[in-house]
Structure 1
Amino acid sequence: MKAAWKLRKYLSPYIFFAILAPSMMILEVVMDLVQPTILQKIIDNGIANGDEKYIMSMFALMILAAFLGLIGGIGCSTYATKTAVNFATDIRQELYETITRFSERNKDHFTLGKLITNLTMDVETLQRAIIMLLKVFVRGPLMFIGAIIFVYITARELFSVLLYVVPLLAISVIVLTQLTGKFFRKVQEAVDIMNTKVQENLAGIRVIKAFNRKTYQMKQFLEVNGLLTKRNITAEQVVAVLMPLTALIVNMGLVYALWIGAIKVDNNTLEVGVILAFINYLMMIMNGLMSSSNVLIQIARAIPSAERIVTVLEEPNDILNPAEPMKTKLRGEVEFKNVSFSYTKQGEPVLKNISFQAKAGETIGIIGMTGSGKSTMMKLLPRIFDVDEGEVLIDRQPIQNYDLQILRQSIGYAPQKAALFSMSIEENLKYGKSDANVNEINVALEASCAAEFVEKLSEQEQHVLTQGATNLSGGQKQRLAMARSFIRKPAILILDDTTSAVDAISEKKIQQAITTNFPNSTKFIVSSKVSSIKNADQILVIDDGHLIASGTHDDLLKSCEHYKEIVETQVEKGGVLND
């Protein structure tokens, strides 16, 4: 409940609607409650005495009550829906903004499947709970209490029946509601597992097909789907018990009331209209308890969702803006001082005591074996991760001192895996610079050698990419990712193995364009190919997280056996070193 209470601030902007909805429901409930009493009056006073005028006046009063109840019901539904939908929309927006600010460590802590569940199922569960809380939870208790009061006033002779029926109904509802909450918490955990598995399988569908592992993955999905099915059935079975159990208790009460009523009517101590009114009120009591129990069950489902949402919203971000951030323009001088880093605080360091300097405008090549830590080094510059030990400095200032937005706007980053979005090519490029004009877009496409295939598309820059840009080849995606970083004209340009799927001729053109277009940018080129970094001002050789050597290509051929071995291996395999 603490988690649900913490979310009350999202309800505050809609408090007027939240008050108006139950107020309208009170009108509907009061009108429903008076109708059995009016019916009793019609039977005992009108029909019994043959008073047609009285009957018609009471009948008109009943119609008026029904009409006023209709207005109350419609008003309650309208304002309750407005409150709940807006409440859910604001929470979903806040969740999305929180998740986008998360560091990689934060995201790994929750898993993508769980975060997707938070944004969809958990928020939807809260929305349903708010609607039911404003509509049904007002109606249920009011109907329940009001019916008891009206029985006491109009059918006191049968009131003793409620002393047995009501406690049994209340105990049943409370016990089953508590059980439901426990079971639905397990259901949501199973949904997390299934969402994670689906997301993982869809992302790797090509690998699954290539290795013919469809049957294996189907078997794995069958297991997680079976777990969800089992938990869902258990939870729904508990809910399903409630209706027949309450119906049994109420029917027993009806039989008991009819038995007592028949005796009293036979003794002329009770009128038939009182029995009919009592039956109506008893059904109202049951419906009030049932509707209240449905709300409690929905709340029992919503509480775990609220807890999970609050956990995400309150997750401390690893990457924070300083209290008084520096907002000066970056020149691009970079220095690593004894930098060490691991993806998990207790895990083996990926980078170990890395130190080097890069002057503004220099080209720095980074080479090493797969998994040596090259890409990880580059992720430290835009603060995708923060170092565990040591310091990363830009323009002789620790990067933690800079305003995050200015820092990242000053860096053009083309990651190892080209991430493009399901929108037009132009919109993807404008991720690098939102106000880029046509000329800037064309220059960026030319520099990355992307113009040669974009011009052949029927809609050119307006060509819409599919999810994951599956309608482009690997090389085309890499070139667009480079164009997106070029368009920014950054102080620091990072190209993380972005030419691995690009042919040698295009790669040479790209290198020439980088030299021509970015003379003042500090350029970091991560590559497994010597041809990509041969002409760099400084080459860093990384091996198992250590910086084992640095220098120019010619210097490293003389002084670094590891670099020399890489060069010889690539030459033996037919690699060509660009002049």
Structure 2
Amino acid sequence: MIKRLGHSVREFKKYALVSPVLVAIETFIETFIPYLMAGMIDKGIIPGNLGYIEKMGLFMLIGAFISLAGGAGASWYSSLASAGFAKNLRHDLYYHIQDFSFADYDHFSTSSIVVRLTTDIMNIQQAFQMLVRAAARAPLMLIFSIVMAFTVDAQMALVFVVSVPAMAIGLTIIIALGRPLFKQVYQRYDGLNRVVRENLRGIRVVKTYNRAAVENKKEARAASRIFNVFSKAERILQLNMPIMQFVMYSTLLFLAWFGAKRIVAGTMQPGQLVSLLAYAMSVLMSLNILSNVFNQMTISLASAQRIDEVLTYKSTLTNPRDALTAVPSGEIEFKNVDFGYEDDHVTRLHDINLHIHSGETIGIIGETGSGKSTLVSLIPRLYDVNKGQVKVGGENVIYYDIRTLRDNVAMVLQQNVLFSGTIAENLRWGDENATDEQLVHAAKLAQADDFIRSLPAGYDTYIEQGGSNVSGGQKQRLTIARALLKHPQILILDDSTSAVDTHTDSLIQKAFREELPHMTKLIIAQRISSVQNADRIIVLQAGRIEAVGTHAQLLAKDALYQEIYHSQVKGEETDAKN
């Protein structure tokens, strides 16, 4: 795991290596200064040797400036290295999830991925900066201080042989108890993120139904679950401070007591005791720094494992070797297809056998939950089948290069999404090199050109995030135009005209018949009027093909189609009377 995450340091590795070198310089001089101070006291201050005092004072001043420069440089480079590491890690994680299938996103959940890209990476960034700065400083300070303490007085320095292991054992126990709790914390962050995302995305519904109080309770429950675990983990980690203070003050008392006795006995100089006390403070300070490092490492280890889980996850969707890079036609074939989503373990499609000729217009209709969207999602490999084959242009879709396949299968999803930017920028998602004339032509086919031109800035009108400043019907027409700009072999409209009035819907279907005769078109619809002119209509029920035929054929022989048709006709007649 460490090696995989460390790969993201890349071009910032030199900064990460320079920082510990500067830390070593800073720490060595910092621990050498008390040694000079001992000499200044014993050989300068006590005997009154002013020249020696000035000489030692000058050395200490120069050393302090060098140490300061080393510390400042180490902080600069460690900050640069950690920020760069986080940037690269976020890039690597984000690019990795771009290759995920819909099933992979279902496996992790969107909210969990967002937390990993934000909170978890921030934790790792802080840990990395601490690693190349504080984690290098603390052991060096510990080693240098102990070595210098033994140089000053080996007998008194033996106290560190007891105090250092005692502190290390205490820290080890604390980390072992705290680490599992932090893993729970970030799992509960996922839950809070999910609640907040749902609330903000559905804020209009929340306000309309006066459900703010209910949503507040959901957020409070999610926040409380984080608080309960996080506070328990923090209480455990905070035990390191009293342990550290107990060891530190016990060591200082020992040195002060026995050092004073030895000075009185004449076996030790006052300067030596001062330097030993300074080294004791340095040793215990380094242990305190190490405890903080271990605390941060404990927190970040849970984050590192969560990020590594995503980075090492093998997507269920992969490009084959020697992938096909051309789709010869819009012919589609389903052969003995079964499919079920990973999370619910229910087979949603059963033994689907269907052949669609290139250029055909196919309507798909059925009750809610009958598997309409699931069926068409298999064509561009948003999901892979559990059994059987889906063929496009005579070849199994798993043999195509994914980019090639999806460039030739344009799909307008149920949940239409527009991005922040102008209308023209959104349309060019279909073809980034599309000319203005091509934009207009696609918009006209989707019956969007008129309303676009009615806007003050026309095609340069700015779309707010999620398309909140356009109506549902306008959003649908824009996403249809965007799909048409791909010039695909196959166009799939997944209930993509549900918010469009019947007149506009009929104009869109007419434009498709007249302007796009060679494109295979699959139209999922709730309204029979949207598909009744299709070459064939597929009726789905409970994941199975109930019937296939023209509007007239189905109206004559299929009971489910008749039921849907008559209920809609009756509804239209009632609306007309009202």
Same fold (TM over 0.5): yes
Q: What are the equivalent positions in structure 2 for 1:437-452 lying under 5 Å apart? A: 437-452=435-450
Using the TM superposition, give the Cα deviation of residue 12 of structure 1 relative to its aligned residue in structure 2, in angstroms: 4.5
Using the TM superposition, give the Cα deviation of residue 346 of structure 1 relative to its aligned residue in structure 2, in angstroms: 7.0
Tell me what 2:541 maps to.
543
2:557 is the counterpart of 1:559: yes
2:311 is the counterpart of 1:307: no
CA distance in 2, matches of 1:510, 1:365: 14
Q: What are the equivalent positions in structure 2 for 1:479-490 lying under 5 Å apart? A: 479-490=477-488
Residues 440-479 of structure 1: CA deviation (Å, up to 9, x unaligned):
1111122212222222322222222222212221111111
Identity of aligned residues (%): 34
Change (3 A) 1:141 1:183: same
Residues 60-108 of structure 1: CA deviation (Å, up to 9, x unaligned):
1111111111121122122222222222212211111122221121111
Q: What's the secondary structure of 2:256's corresponding residue?
A: helix
Segment of structure 1 superposing worse, 318-327 or 341-350: 341-350
CA distance in 1, matches of 2:143, 2:573: 85
Tell me what 2:9 maps to.
11
Segment of structure 1 superposing worse, 419-428 or 165-174: 165-174
CA distance in 2, matches of 1:571, 1:193: 45
Tell me what 1:260 maps to.
258
Q: What are the equivalent positions in structure 2 for 1:208-287 lying under 5 Å apart? A: 208-287=206-285
Matching residue's letter, 1:487: L
Using the TM superposition, give the Cα deviation of residue 59 of structure 1 relative to its aligned residue in structure 2, in angstroms: 0.8
Using the TM superposition, give the Cα deviation of residue 20 of structure 1 relative to its aligned residue in structure 2, in angstroms: 1.3
Matching residue's letter, 1:139: R
Change (3 A) 1:183 1:205: same
Q: What are the equivalent positions in structure 2 for 1:355-374 lying under 5 Å apart? A: 355-374=353-372
Residues 173-221 of structure 1: CA deviation (Å, up to 9, x unaligned):
2222322323322222221221122223323333333333222222122
CA distance in 2, matches of 1:233, 1:43: 48
Using the TM superposition, give the Cα deviation of residue 345 of structure 1 relative to its aligned residue in structure 2, in angstroms: 7.7
Tell me what 1:198 maps to.
196
Match of 2:34 among 33, 36, 41: 36
2:506 is the counterpart of 1:508: yes
Change (3 A) 1:160 1:319: closer
2:488 is the counterpart of 1:470: no
Change (3 A) 1:523 1:65: same
Q: What are the equivalent positions in structure 2 for 1:86-235 lying under 5 Å apart? A: 86-235=84-233
2:309 is the counterpart of 1:349: no
Matching residue's letter, 1:508: S
Using the TM superposition, give the Cα deviation of residue 142 of structure 1 relative to its aligned residue in structure 2, in angstroms: 0.8
Answer yes or no: is the 8 Å Cα contact 1:489–1:518 preserved in 2.
Answer: no
Tell me what 2:318 maps to.
320
CA distance in 1, matches of 2:65, 2:482: 63
Matching residue's letter, 1:158: M
CA distance in 1, matches of 2:328, 2:57: 82
Answer yes or no: is the 8 Å Cα contact 1:339–1:392 preserved in 2.
Answer: yes
Residues 262-300 of structure 1: CA deviation (Å, up to 9, x unaligned):
211212222111111111111100111111121122112
Matching residue's letter, 2:99: R
Using the TM superposition, give the Cα deviation of residue 157 of structure 1 relative to its aligned residue in structure 2, in angstroms: 4.4
Segment of structure 1 superposing worse, 219-228 or 234-243: 234-243
Answer yes or no: is the 8 Å Cα contact 2:423–2:459 preserved in 1.
Answer: yes
Using the TM superposition, give the Cα deviation of residue 315 of structure 1 relative to its aligned residue in structure 2, in angstroms: 1.3
Answer yes or no: is the 8 Å Cα contact 1:177–1:293 preserved in 2.
Answer: no
Tell me what 1:67 maps to.
65
Unaligned runs of 5+ in 2: none
CA distance in 2, matches of 1:566, 1:130: 61
2:381 is the counterpart of 1:396: no
Residues 344-403 of structure 1: CA deviation (Å, up to 9, x unaligned):
387332222222222111111111112111111111111101112221111221111111
Match of 1:460 among 458, 461, 465: 458
Answer yes or no: is the 8 Å Cα contact 1:4–1:307 preserved in 2.
Answer: no
Tell me what 2:380 maps to.
382
CA distance in 1, matches of 2:159, 2:71: 30
Using the TM superposition, give the Cα deviation of residue 525 of structure 1 relative to its aligned residue in structure 2, in angstroms: 1.0
Answer yes or no: is the 8 Å Cα contact 2:106–2:343 preserved in 1.
Answer: no
Q: What's the secondary structure of 2:493's corresponding residue?
A: strand
Change (3 A) 1:537 1:575: farther
Q: Give TM-score, length-normalised by structure 1.
A: 0.95
Change (3 A) 1:531 1:176: same
CA distance in 1, matches of 2:243, 2:226: 26
CA distance in 2, matches of 1:370, 1:480: 25
Using the TM superposition, give the Cα deviation of residue 22 of structure 1 relative to its aligned residue in structure 2, in angstroms: 0.5
CA distance in 2, matches of 1:517, 1:67: 78
The alignment of Structure 1 onto Structure 2 pairs a total of residues equal to 574
Answer yes or no: is the 8 Å Cα contact 2:327–2:393 preserved in 1.
Answer: no
Answer yes or no: is the 8 Å Cα contact 1:330–1:410 preserved in 2.
Answer: no
